Amino acid sequence: MTRIYRHRFTVPPESIDMLKHVNNIEYLRWMQDVAIAHSTDLGWPMERYFKERCSWVIRSHFIEYLRSAVLDDPITLLTWVAGVGERSSTRKYLFWRESDRQVLARAETAWVFIDLKTGLPMPILDSVRASFPVVEEDDEAAEIDALLGSS
């Protein structure tokens, strides 16, 4: 079971804005994409959610931009579930540039579990809850260091 999911990529040309760095909207797209990839890795691809008539929607995002990323930067994007409530979950993200070992951004998303028929929040299914390990705040730093140290 993957507690912290790691996705590595290189910044593509289409992610660059007029200021010659990664456009802010790209971080949001990458966050959504890596959350879906992590969910799929844990046995919950979108098709399974649709079959169960449930899904996740975003309530809010928080992103702290620390450094700019530019074309061809090698990026490691980490994501993990930091907390789970009755109908919602908090997911964290860390954007890390491999070439100089710098954190580019930290982010967090509040996700709400919904019934696809009504569009309303619903209790998180036990089968979903059991599939997503929560990384407690006390464990974050050590697990992140271990993952980035092996990059």
Ordered structural domains, the chain, with CATH: 4-149 (3.10.129.10)
For residues 126 and 66, give the distance between their C-alpha atoms in angstroms, rounded to a whole number: 37
- What DSSP element (H or E) covers 121? none
3-state SS assignment for residue 119: coil
Residue 37 in contact with residue 7, Cβ under 8 Å?
yes
What pTM was computed for the model?
A: 0.93
Provide the percentage of residues in the chain whose pLDDT is more than 70.
98
What pLDDT digit, counting tens, does each position of 114-143 carry?
999 999 999 999 999 999 999 988 788 788
Residues 6+ apart with CB under 8 A from 59: 88, 110, 111, 112
Give the residue from 115, 62, 118 showing the smallest Cα distance to 90: 62
What pLDDT digit, counting tens, does each position of 32-44 carry?
999 999 999 999 9
